[in-house]
């Protein structure tokens, strides 16, 4: 049990003794607040008696109290809303984590596929390079073969011309031989 104390206060020029367990500083602060409220009412209308000033000050303090309680209730409601939605937010967070994990796995799979495709592309590029080198070699061989064919065609052509000339010479020789035989044969007759 807390110890009760007697505290001397002054409100509107009157002395009061308050008995309570609250700290003396707090009680004096409250008394000072009430005293100031009474002085505010009295300063606005100096024709009011002490009782009326105290009653109007009490009414103003009660008004402040009710407005403050309404604000407090509103703030408590506003504070309660997020707390009531906490479970929904946690469920949404867990759902989002699951989706993120699935997307990370999918991303990892795509990275693996991309790596595989890059390796296949590198292999294809290397193979293409080999085919290009082989094609260049075959093109050189083809070029050399075409040169050889041209050279052989030229030799064939030269040989055909030589053959034609040889045939002409042979024809001429045969014709002369035939003429020579005919001379002998006619002379014999």
Residues 138-165 have pLDDT tens digits of 999 999 999 999 999 999 999 999 999 9
Say if residues 38 and 55 touch (Cβ distance below 8 Å). no
When the pLDDT of each residue in the chain is averaged and rounded to a whole number, the result is 90
Give pLDDT, residue 112: 94
Rounded Cα gap, residues 23 and 4, in angstroms? 10
Please give the distance of CA 15 from its chain centroid, rounded to a whole number.
74
Mean pLDDT, rounded, for 2-19:
92
pLDDT at 186 over 70: no
Task: Give the model's pLDDT for residue 183.
Answer: 64
Mean pLDDT of 43-60: 92
Q: Decide which of 178 and 137 is more confident.
A: 137
Beta bridge partners of 135: none
pLDDT attached to residue 185: 59
Mean pLDDT of 170-174: 88
Distance from C-alpha of 117 to C-alpha of 162, rounded to nearest angstrom:
65
> What DSSP string describes 113-163?
HHHHHHHHHHHHHHHHHHHHHHHHHHHHHHHHHHHHHHHHHHHHHHHHHHH
pLDDT > 70? residue 39: yes
What was the pLDDT predicted at 96?
95
pLDDT digits (tens, 9 = 90+) for 55-86: 999 999 999 999 999 999 999 888 887 777 88
In this prediction, residue 32 has a pLDDT band, given cuts at 50, 70 and 90, of very high
pTM, entire model: 0.45
């Amino acid at each position: 049990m807390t110890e009760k104390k007697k505290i001397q206060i002054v409100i509107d020029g009157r002395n009061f003794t308050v008995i309570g367990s609250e700290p003396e500083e707090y009680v004096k602060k409250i008394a000072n607040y009430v005293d100031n409220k009474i002085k505010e009412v009295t300063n606005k209308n100096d024709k009011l008696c002490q009782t009326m000033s105290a009653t109007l000050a009490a009414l103003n303090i009660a008004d402040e109290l009710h407005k403050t309680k309404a604000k407090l209730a509103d703030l408590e409601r506003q504070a309660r809303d997020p707390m009531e939605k906490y479970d929904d937010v946690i469920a949404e967070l867990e759902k989002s984590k699951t989706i993120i994990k699935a997307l990370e796995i999918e991303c990892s799979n795509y990275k693996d596929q991309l790596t595989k495709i890059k390796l296949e592309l590198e292999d294809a590029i290397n193979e293409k390079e080999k085919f290009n080198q082989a094609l260049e070699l075959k093109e050189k061989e083809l070029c050399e073969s075409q040169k050889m064919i041209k050279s052989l065609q030229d030799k064939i052509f030269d040989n055909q011309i030589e053959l034609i000339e040889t045939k002409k010479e042979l024809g001429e020789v045969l014709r002369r031989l035939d003429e020579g035989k005919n001379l002998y044969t006619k002379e014999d007759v």
